[in-house]
A and B are shown apart, each in its own frame.
Chain A
Amino acid sequence: MEYLSIVFQEVYKILFLLVPVLVSVAMIVWLDRRVWAFVQKRQGPNVVGPFGLLQSLADALKYIFKEIIIPSSSNKVIFILAPIVTMTLALIAWAVIPFSATQVLADINVGILYLFAVSSLGVYGIIMGGWASNSKYPFLGAIRSAAQMVSYEVSIGVIIINVLLCVGSLNLNDIVIAQQNMWFVIPLFPMFVIFFISALAETNRPPFDLPEAEAELVAGYQTEYSGMMYAMFWLGEYANILLMCAMGAILFLGGWMSPIDVYPFTLVPGAIWLILKILLLFILFALVKAIVPRYRYDQLMRLGWKVFLPLSLIWVVLTSSYLFYFNLLPVN
Chain B
Amino acid sequence: MIAHAIFFYTFSIIAVVSAIMVTASKNTVHSVFFLILDFISISCLFIMIGAEFLGMIMLIVYVGAVAVLFLFVVMMLNVAQQKNQWFAGQQSSKHIPVGLIISTLIFVEVIIVIGGWKYKPEIFDINNSIAQTSISNTHSLGQILYTDYIHVFQISGMILLVAMVGAIVLTFRQRSGVKRQSYIKQISRERAEGVEVLEVQSNKGVKIDD
Residues in A lying within 8 Å of B, measured CB to CB:
3, 78, 108-110, 113-114, 116-117, 120-121, 123-124, 127-128, 131, 139, 142-143, 146-147, 149-150, 153, 157, 170, 298-299, 302
A299 to B36, CA, bound (A): 30
Not counting A108-B52, A121-B63, A146-B72, a sample of 11 additional A-B residue pairs whose C-beta atoms are within 8 angstroms of each other reads A109-B52, A110-B53, A110-B56, A117-B60, A117-B64, A124-B36, A142-B75, A150-B64, A150-B68, A157-B60, A299-B183
A291 to B36, CA, bound (A): 38
Structural contact, A117 and B68, CB atoms closer than 8 A: no
User: CB-CB contacts of B181-199 with A at 8 A, as 1s and 0s?
Assistant: 1010000000000000000
With A78-B33, A113-B57: A120-B65 Cβ-Cβ less than 8 Å: yes
B35 at the interface (CB under 8 A from A): no
A155 to B65, CA, bound (A): 13
CB distance from B168 to the nearest CB of A (A): 12
User: Which residues of the partner chain A approach B63 to less than 8 Å between Cβ atoms?
Assistant: 117, 120-121
Number of contact residues on B: which range applies? 20 to 34
Q: Which residue of A lies closest to B60 (CB)?
A: A117
User: Which residues of the partner chain B approach A120 to less than 8 Å between Cβ atoms?
Assistant: 59-60, 63-65
CB distance from A323 to the nearest CB of B (A): 14
A323 to B9, CA, bound (A): 45
A110 to B60, CA, bound (A): 12
Structural contact, B183 and A3, CB atoms closer than 8 A: no
Residues in B lying within 8 Å of A, measured CB to CB:
3, 29, 33, 36, 52-53, 56-57, 59-60, 63-65, 68-69, 71-72, 75-76, 136, 138, 181, 183
17 contacting pairs across A/B (C-beta < 8 A):
A109-B138, A110-B138, A117-B60, A120-B59, A120-B65, A124-B36, A127-B68, A127-B71, A128-B33, A131-B71, A143-B75, A143-B76, A146-B72, A147-B72, A157-B60, A170-B138, A302-B183
CB distance from B27 to the nearest CB of A (A): 8
User: Which residues of the partner chain A approach B60 to less than 8 Å between Cβ atoms?
Assistant: 113, 116-117, 120, 157
User: Which residues of the partner chain A approach B52 to less than 8 Å between Cβ atoms?
Assistant: 108-110
User: Which residues of the partner chain B approach A3 to less than 8 Å between Cβ atoms?
Assistant: 3
Structural contact, A131 and B56, CB atoms closer than 8 A: no
Q: Contact check: which of B3, B56, B69, B138 meets A150 at CB < 8 Å?
A: B69
CB distance from A18 to the nearest CB of B (A): 21
With A3-B3, A109-B136, A110-B53: A146-B71 Cβ-Cβ less than 8 Å: yes
A123 to B57, CA, bound (A): 17
User: Which residues of the partner chain B approach A113 to less than 8 Å between Cβ atoms?
Assistant: 53, 56-57, 60
**A-B interface, 9 closest residue pairs, ranked by CB to CB distance from nearest:** A120-B64, A113-B56, A117-B59, A117-B60, A110-B52, A109-B136, A110-B56, A146-B72, A117-B56
Q: Which residue of A lies closest to B59 (CB)?
A: A117
Structural contact, B65 and A139, CB atoms closer than 8 A: no
User: Which residues of the partner chain A approach B72 to less than 8 Å between Cβ atoms?
Assistant: 143, 146-147
User: Which residues of the partner chain A approach B33 to less than 8 Å between Cβ atoms?
Assistant: 78, 128
Q: Which residue of A lies closest to B71 (CB)?
A: A127
CB distance from B204 to the nearest CB of A (A): 38
Structural contact, B59 and A121, CB atoms closer than 8 A: yes
CB distance from A9 to the nearest CB of B (A): 15
With A110-B138, A117-B60, A117-B64: A131-B75 Cβ-Cβ less than 8 Å: yes
Structural contact, B64 and A153, CB atoms closer than 8 A: yes
A150 to B69, CA, bound (A): 9
User: Which residues of the partner chain B approach A114 to less than 8 Å between Cβ atoms?
Assistant: 56
Q: Most chain-B CB neighbours within 10 Å: which of A109, A117, A143, A157?
A: A117
User: Which residues of the partner chain A approach B138 to less than 8 Å between Cβ atoms?
Assistant: 109-110, 170
User: Which residues of the partner chain A approach B65 to less than 8 Å between Cβ atoms?
Assistant: 120, 150, 153
Q: Which residue of A lies closest to B63 (CB)?
A: A121
Q: Which residue of A lies closest to B75 (CB)?
A: A131
User: Which residues of the partner chain A approach B75 to less than 8 Å between Cβ atoms?
Assistant: 127, 131, 139, 142-143
A108 to B56, CA, bound (A): 12
User: Which residues of the partner chain A approach B136 to less than 8 Å between Cβ atoms?
Assistant: 109
